[in-house]
Homo-oligomer: A and B are copies of this chain.
Amino acid sequence: MDVFTALADPTRRAMLDLLTDGARPAGDLVSAFPALTQPAVSRHLRVLREVGLVEVRAQAQRRIYTLRTEPLAEVDAWLGRYREHWARHLDAIEAHLASSSEGADDDR
For the complex, is A106 an interface residue (Cβ under 8 Å from B)? Answer: no
Question: Which residues of B lie under 8 Å from residue A75 when comparing CB positions?
Answer: 75, 79
Q: How far is the CA of A79 from the CA of B69 in the complex (A)?
A: 10
Docked complex Cα distance between A8 and B79 (Å): 13
Scan A13-31; emit 1 where CB is below 8 A from any B CB, else 0.
1001100100000000000
- In the complex, whether A89 has a CB less than 8 A from a CB of chain B is yes
Residues of B within 8 A of A5 (CB): 8
* B residues less than 8 Å from A79 (CB atoms): 72, 75-76, 79
Question: 24 A-B contacts, Cβ less than 8 Å apart?
Answer: A4-B4, A4-B7, A4-B8, A4-B10, A4-B13, A5-B8, A8-B8, A13-B78, A16-B82, A17-B81, A20-B81, A20-B82, A20-B85, A67-B82, A67-B85, A69-B82, A69-B85, A69-B86, A72-B79, A72-B82, A72-B86, A75-B79, A76-B79, A79-B79
